[in-house]
Amino acid sequence: MKKFLCSLVLAALPLQVASADSQQHPHGSGGVKVTLVYEHQLPGMPNKSIKGVLVEYEPGGVNPAHTHARSALIYATVLEGAVLNQLNGGPIRTFTKGQNFTELPGDRHDVSANASETEPAKLLAVFVVDTDDTVLTTPIER
């Protein structure tokens, strides 16, 4: 499974430059831009799709705490800079360019932020998700 997900991420990386027809998602706040850059139904897996989401953090950018679609398995790779990440109340971890992390269905994403106040950061989140799940991220009310 890990080899399969790595292949999916590598296949989606060139899509980070997509812009004109990218779908913008306004749920980001505090200097975060989220863009759907890729979407494709998975052959041989009824009702399953892969969706690539580019997350761009301005210096000091913070995405609010959130959950993802219940079916979502996410493999995220940092493309630029450093990103702070906390899942399910666990430790806050810093991931730098080239490093990756996985989010499992039902995980709570407590911290999603740029680790730098002076440099931007980017990550590509590759979702394997039910095709009917159109809302990929839901902010947590605090």
Average pLDDT value for the chain:
82
Q: Is residue 126 part of a domain?
A: yes
Q: Is residue 43 part of a domain?
A: yes
Is the pLDDT at 138 greater than 90? The verdict is no
d(CA 26, CA 41): 24
pLDDT, tens only, 72-101: 999 999 999 999 999 999 999 999 999 999
Q: Tell me the pTM.
A: 0.77
Q: Is residue 140 part of a domain?
A: no
Q: Which domain covers residue 91, as residue numbers?
A: 2-133
Q: Is residue 124 part of a domain?
A: yes
Q: Is residue 118 part of a domain?
A: yes
Decide if 37 contacts 22 (C-beta within 8 A): yes
d(CA 33, CA 131): 23
Q: Is residue 138 part of a domain?
A: no
pLDDT, tens only, 14-59: 333 333 233 333 334 579 999 999 999 999 999 999 999 999 999 9
CATH number of domain containing 10: 2.60.120.10
Q: Is residue 7 part of a domain?
A: yes
Q: Is residue 87 part of a domain?
A: yes
Domain count, the chain: 1
